[in-house]
A and B are shown apart, each in its own frame.
Chain A
């Protein structure tokens, strides 16, 4: 399940305002949780905000808004 490509676009490397399509997740735990919340591979995802103090990410996918830590954002690979 864990794939490593140097050309992978990881969500946590993107800037606020970036939009993309979720390709897959690098961690199964995070994958199960995110899919259950409604963030499935193939859906669009947009970074709306970033928290202060090097904190988490605020992302949007359709009608869903999720706050996550960098650790989790690192697991989301974009197409």
Chain B
């Protein structure tokens, strides 16, 4: 029955940059699962493993924090889990991870945790760096003074990990004993003791310090019952309890206790002059050179996303289309064949085709993050991004959005302020992504003359640039509006620790890439697959009477015009698309899009573009009876001669062309992006707002452009 026992939940807790996640990755590897705190968008990683002695352990990697007085959502979730014994992630045992090279800064939270009635182990991390820096630590003395077990490990190399497992085993056996009492030397003030005494009625089983924390966090903690909360708040009101002065006094007191303790157990060689990191920062955070380096790094990132992701994407698309061709010719013809090859397989290809970009972007970003560069970039761009309600880190998302919004939106996870992260997610799709390029190419070629202006500039090139700038402008302007519109209870500040530069741990890089690819494929992928099958169904099926009539008509016209078999096939595809549900929908929305200068043919292309914007080109080709293999130039020539039946003028004149271009700059036409936004914001609310907002902006600007230019 021993193996049936519930696993011991062990939490890794520590300050940001203490190397906690490296340690978690070393212990759990590919076992880890990403979950989230119920109701909020804070992700949390956990994993179950067996210790060498076959004890089962469920590891939880909590977000990093500095003290038990949280400001961000992530930090609040940690405090909530620690206080609420019924919480899904409430730990049986805490492994407190501290960077041994910065021990004097990392013990505050540990000192607070000693009063939380949860068994503790102090894990001194980065012991390999300590040896390099000739740092001597007396772990035995430290353990004696703190009265908790202390182990030294390296999360990077795994050195000393067996001592950690031994310590955990010992603690698991001891857990059967009653919870340890308060352990720290912290002396409560008179006012604190008064509150603690009165709260005994409300929280009798809590330790004194936990009661005090309940007082501090009474306004937001969700697990307090209504009657308890009223009781609690009335006690706080009577005592005119003010949280902040108490906090400042407490953290200062705790510092006064452990600062001498640390100097008694730690021998450090005082270094003179600047460290390597400081010298490097002379370049990387310099107000001019730093910007140049950042531009260089981002150009590299963008180029690699653009160029290196190209061939695996072509490979995936090619592979799937061969598979679909093979199956389509080897399976009996019919509905199932079509569903499998054109619906399901094409839908799967539509998901997997994003993986090269996602993998590549997170490979590069996590290297930059591991090295410590990302926090420098956040520092450099903090002020300018703040104007638009964004974070310094939003810069990376906006730039990656120029290749594809999907990995860009997924990269906002590192923005700790929820409001800044949300705004970044909402505005990134305005940045012109690579899927818009084929559409821009066809339409600009069609309506903008290729002539030279101002001696060196090509007008078509300028139009291209204009569309890109328009997207950036729309993104920033929306940022300004959203900053004012979205309310947030999180205070906005930077206070960012800039860690020393380190070599990346490749295990961490690999696991990040793996996790991102996995969540995208499994979570956003589901939605993408469903929508692409629906779109396939709409474009390939229609009321049977209409389909039959379309077939007959196509045959009649083919014979009349004596078309070749290929031409006849293309013609019948065009007629069938017109008769399909998508065709009917395109015609239904025609009155709505007519003021923009669009007809039902464009309407169909707008609908099918929802699978991916570049599908516009293919759909237009089908509608105009062009073959699959004709290129954009052929389509452009065909569109150029299309006449408007009412006016007799070219269908794709400047007004319609510009209107359509504007629509493609602004409209949210990508279901995959919406699926990812749903995944990242954990609700349908934001993708719907984003879809409506962007589409309305697109509609209005296209409307104005068409009406003015017409």
Report which A residues bind B (CB closer than 8 A).
1, 28-38, 40-41, 48-56, 58, 60, 62-69, 71-72
Report which B residues bind A (CB closer than 8 A).
15, 66-67, 69, 71, 101-102, 104-106, 108-109, 244-245, 247-248, 251-252, 255, 277-278, 281-282, 285-288, 290-291, 375, 378-384, 386, 491, 493-500
**Contact residue among A28, A29, A30, A69 (Cβ-Cβ distance under 8 Å from B382):** A69
Cβ–Cβ < 8 Å partners of B281 in chain A:
48-49, 58, 65
B493–A50 touching, CB < 8 Å: no
Q: Which residue of B lies closest to A16 (CB)?
A: B287
Cβ–Cβ < 8 Å partners of A40 in chain B:
252, 255
Q: Which residue of A lies closest to B16 (CB)?
A: A37
Cβ–Cβ < 8 Å partners of A53 in chain B:
383-384
Cβ–Cβ < 8 Å partners of A69 in chain B:
382-383, 386, 493-494
A64–B379 touching, CB < 8 Å: no
30 examples of A-B residue contacts, CB within 8 angstroms: A28-B244, A28-B245, A28-B247, A29-B491, A30-B493, A30-B495, A32-B69, A33-B66, A33-B495, A35-B251, A36-B66, A36-B69, A37-B66, A37-B497, A40-B252, A49-B281, A49-B286, A49-B287, A55-B381, A56-B494, A58-B281, A58-B285, A65-B498, A65-B499, A65-B500, A67-B375, A67-B378, A67-B497, A68-B494, A69-B493
Cβ–Cβ < 8 Å partners of A56 in chain B:
379, 382-383, 494
Residue picked from A34, A49, A62, most chain B C-beta under 10 Å: A49
Q: A33-B495, A66-B497, A71-B493 are in contact. Are A51 and B244 (CB under 8 A)?
A: no
B105–A52 touching, CB < 8 Å: no
7 new A-B contacts at CB < 8 Å, known A41-B252, A48-B285, A55-B382: A28-B247, A32-B69, A36-B66, A36-B109, A67-B375, A67-B379, A67-B382
CB distance from B71 to the nearest CB of A (A): 7
CB distance from B699 to the nearest CB of A (A): 35
Cβ–Cβ < 8 Å partners of B286 in chain A:
49
A67–B69 touching, CB < 8 Å: no
Roughly how many angstroms separate A53 CA and B385 CA in the complex, as a whole number?
10
Q: Which residue of B lies closest to A38 (CB)?
A: B105
Cβ–Cβ < 8 Å partners of A37 in chain B:
15, 66, 105, 495, 497
CB distance from A10 to the nearest CB of B (A): 17
CB distance from B79 to the nearest CB of A (A): 13
B251–A32 touching, CB < 8 Å: yes
B491–A50 touching, CB < 8 Å: no
Cβ–Cβ < 8 Å partners of B109 in chain A:
36
Question: A-B pairs with the 8 shortest C-beta distances?
Answer: A38-B105, A55-B383, A28-B244, A36-B66, A67-B379, A52-B287, A36-B67, A65-B498
Residue picked from A1, A40, A72, most chain B C-beta under 10 Å: A40
Q: A32-B67, A52-B291, A63-B105 are in contact. Are A72 and B245 (CB under 8 A)?
A: no
**Contact residue among B104, B255, B500 (Cβ-Cβ distance under 8 Å from A35):** B255
Roughly how many angstroms separate A26 CA and B699 CA in the complex, as a whole number?
50
Q: Which residue of B lies closest to A1 (CB)?
A: B245
Cβ–Cβ < 8 Å partners of A64 in chain B:
102, 105, 497
Cβ–Cβ < 8 Å partners of B252 in chain A:
35, 40-41
Roughly how many angstroms separate A60 CA and B71 CA in the complex, as a whole number?
23
B290–A32 touching, CB < 8 Å: no
Cβ–Cβ < 8 Å partners of B282 in chain A:
49
A49–B285 touching, CB < 8 Å: yes
CB distance from B109 to the nearest CB of A (A): 8
Cβ–Cβ < 8 Å partners of B108 in chain A:
35-36, 38
Cβ–Cβ < 8 Å partners of B104 in chain A:
38, 62
B248–A31 touching, CB < 8 Å: yes
B379–A51 touching, CB < 8 Å: yes
Residue picked from A41, A56, A58, most chain B C-beta under 10 Å: A56
Cβ–Cβ < 8 Å partners of B288 in chain A:
52
**Contact residue among A48, A49, A66 (Cβ-Cβ distance under 8 Å from B495):** A66
Q: Which residue of B lies closest to A59 (CB)?
A: B498
CB distance from A57 to the nearest CB of B (A): 9
Roughly how many angstroms separate A62 CA and B381 CA in the complex, as a whole number?
25
**Contact residue among B71, B290, B494, B496 (Cβ-Cβ distance under 8 Å from A52):** B290
A51–B285 touching, CB < 8 Å: yes
Roughly how many angstroms separate A69 CA and B380 CA in the complex, as a whole number?
11
B495–A51 touching, CB < 8 Å: no
**Contact residue among B67, B277, B491, B498 (Cβ-Cβ distance under 8 Å from A66):** B498
A60–B66 touching, CB < 8 Å: no
Cβ–Cβ < 8 Å partners of B15 in chain A:
37
Q: Which residue of A lies closest to B104 (CB)?
A: A38
Q: Which residue of A lies closest to B259 (CB)?
A: A40
Roughly how many angstroms separate A33 CA and B288 CA in the complex, as a whole number?
30
**Contact residue among B106, B375, B383 (Cβ-Cβ distance under 8 Å from A51):** B383
Roughly how many angstroms separate A51 CA and B15 CA in the complex, as a whole number?
25
A58–B290 touching, CB < 8 Å: no
B255–A52 touching, CB < 8 Å: no
Q: A50-B287, A55-B383 are in contact. Are A63 and B102 (CB under 8 A)?
A: yes
CB distance from B276 to the nearest CB of A (A): 12
CB distance from A23 to the nearest CB of B (A): 13
**Contact residue among A1, A33, A62 (Cβ-Cβ distance under 8 Å from B493):** A33
CB distance from B265 to the nearest CB of A (A): 16
CB distance from A32 to the nearest CB of B (A): 5
CB distance from A2 to the nearest CB of B (A): 11
Roughly how many angstroms separate A71 CA and B499 CA in the complex, as a whole number?
22
A32–B105 touching, CB < 8 Å: no
